Amino acid sequence: MCGIWALFGSDECLSVQCLSAMKIAHRGPDAFRFENVNGFTNCCFGFHRLAVVDQLYGMQPIRVKKFPYLWLCYNGEIYNFKQLQKQFGFEYQTLVDGEVILHLYNRGGIEQTASMLDGVFAFILLDTANRKVFLARDTYGVRPLFKVLTDDGFLGVCSEAKGLINLKHSTSLCSKVEPFLPGHYEVLDLKPSGKVASVELVKFHSCKDEPLHSACDTVEALPSGFDLETVKSNIRILFENAVRKRLMAHRRIGCLLSGKGGLDSSLVAAVLLKLMKEININYPLQTFAIGMENSPDLLAARKVAAHIGSEHHEVILNTEEGIQAIEEVIFSLETYDITTIRASIGMYLVSKYIRKKTDSVVIFSGEGSDELTQGYIYFHKAPSPEEAAEESERLLKELYLFDVLRADRTTAAHGLELRVPFLDHRFTSYYLSLPAELRIPKNGIEKYLLRLSFEDSNLLPKEILWRPKEAFSDGIASVKKSWFSILQDYIDQQVDDLLLEKAAEKYPFNPPKTKESYYYRQIFEKHFSGRSSWLPHYWMPRWVKATDPSARTLKHYKSATQE
């Protein structure tokens, strides 16, 4: 996890502009560098470092003797950098996984570079010899990237929008700061003036397509065919491989056990611990859960931790602390989406605890499973398996606006690095290649295929493996009163009825329909005025008449305590 920032063609003094780069300092608490580009006095890079690999040579922008004309600023982890070195005979000068980007680009250009990277990444690559700037972002947008490009060719790029919104320029930047699309790269021409012109924006990978880098994966070709035993075995092999490749770190690894429903993060933790033992990592795995006392998530996490034998930490959420964190959370997230904010409060506070009280820095989590394996309760209402499959793909494409955004910002706010094995390119493309009928909820149980695949593995207790779904913002509450209803009671006192009546006039785009939504929007506009288009629409369940995104408001919601 790092913070990257770059400007090309700035009209203003760079020493003033670089103050904007300090807005993302939380992403890299270990070191900071600000570097001008030789020959282009109005172009520069800013980098905040969280040192996870190569403590000595890991600073950026990365430049190597072999390619003096290339400058790279990247945030992410490239899990197959050693396999690529072997396959193509690359001679690395550092231990930094991202160095492979320079070698791939030199060998085959930007299209091959982006397609061959197995990992999560957002990068800015400058080629001064050919006067090109390249931007790219991983398939699911696990690593964030924002950009602003003015009509006169001034380009600003940053890990978070807050590093761009106060830039000085002769023309207005207000409406132009936007998220860079996941699974895409952009080519820009660099003019002698330092300004740029966009040449093309290309989609290099779609979640359904088997990634190009599969050819040099450590797991070779899998048995084909859709008989159940083959499918279950392939799911286990690919998931275990997804966790294994993410063990790459020189800092301590931990795991969240407070994800939605317990299943996703519990599976990650169980496989993680098994693999850590296999490769002789000699410290105990720390697991973390947050909730109000006796909440469903806390109780389930306790069971999992006891079963797998982790060093378990419980963070008790008190209502006042949760409410006080709302503004910080919205500022970190850069969104006003209701369900994202609700679920982020617990994750933000548990990340704060991890940073202050432990030495775990690389944090595994279960994001992406609900979207991939049809885990949301509303999937029970899907009209057909085909429509369920389409919805699954839509959710995956929009992850960067919702769950992935939440997971990145809440952990990065406290200088932690998140790893999400469920969003492994190979694992997701395989799961999406399965017949739609295989992937739907069965016997009233969502994620049926995923649960079934691990039933005989003894990785988890049966009651956790088959536990019904909780929404994260609900699972952290006690069953009697959910976290979101506690929030709403507080907000009811903060927002006047008259304000809500006139909400559509004040906020015509995505107008708030509830006091809670209005309250979040007010805070968002205070920090990011006029930028409501960053959220195209609110996250809401489909195929049901829902006015609220919480699972508890859906008729077929069933708490584990009601069994």
Binding-site sequence positions for L-glutamine: 97
Shortest CA distance to 339 belongs to which of 456, 487, 203, 135?
Answer: 487
3-state secondary structure 107-175: HHHHHHHHHHCCEEEEEEEEECCCCEEEEEECCCCCCCCEEEECCCCCEEEECCHHHCCCCCCCCCCHH
Given the residues 2, 44, 158, 255, the one annotated as active site:
2
Confirm whether 2 is a catalytic residue. Answer: yes
Tokens describing residue 481: 């009163």
* Cα separation, 530 vs 520, whole angstroms: 14
Whose tokens are 């929030």? That residue is: 487
Angle at 452 between CA 404 and CA 378, to 5 degrees: 50
Q: Binding-site residues for ATP, please?
A: 256, 290, 365-366
* Cα separation, 550 vs 545, whole angstroms: 12
* 447 dihedral zone (left: phi>0; alpha: psi -120 to 50; beta): left
Shortest CA distance to 135 belongs to which of 290, 126, 538?
Answer: 126
Residues 6 or more apart whose CB falls under 8 angstroms from that of 487 comprise 322, 323, 342, 516
* Cα separation, 232 vs 244, whole angstroms: 18
Q: Binding-site residues, please?
A: 97, 256, 290, 365-366
The residues annotated with a catalytic role in the active site are 2
